[in-house]
Amino acid sequence: MRKIIFVTGNPHKVREAEEILSPLGINVEQNNCGYPELQEDELSPIAAFGAEWAANLLDNEVMVDDSGLFIEALGEFPGPYSAYVFDTLGNKRVLKLMEDEINRRAVFRCAIGYCRPGEKALVFPGDVEGEISKEMRGNAGFGYDPIFEVNGMTFGEMEDNEKNSLSHRYRALLKLAEWLKEGH
């Protein structure tokens, strides 16, 4: 069975990838070795660099996920700094920043970096448009899920299968799966 190592500390992401890739005969194995993250305004170069670094370190084909929440009214903040902002401020303070904003549009973006040792990385993007809710709702998911709303429900209010069927990561993983199905 083919093995792709998913370099992440997040088991939720690994389960999502397994659901999409295991029907293709691919075993997704988690490794939390980490990788140096470039300081960039876009996700793609961060994911590409991380995938190349990890593929060469682990001597195996790998995938990494760089995701971010891009809030229009805040100038696309927190963007590629989403994990740091979440760990530092949390959802309550992000909602405080949005308190007087009428424009609540936001996009969750994902860039899946895929690489084999010694090769250049490929990046598979995925986006989902939504808005920032007025308050935290729901206990499901992780990170910004309780404040990111799509079709009247936050990701935090959705069952995993519902969220996964429309998430930014799901869309990026489908693109990777389609590419792998072509025999790559």
Other C-beta atoms closer than 10 Å to the C-beta of 140 total: 15
Residue type, 160: D
CA 43, chain centre distance (Å): 10
DSSP 67-85: EEEEEGGGTTEEETTHHHH
Concerning whether 66 is annotated as a catalytic residue, the answer is yes
DSSP category for residue 167: -
Catalytic residue chosen out of the listed positions 66, 87, 100, 145: 66
Quote the longest CA-to-CA distance of the chain: 53
Residues designated as active site: 66
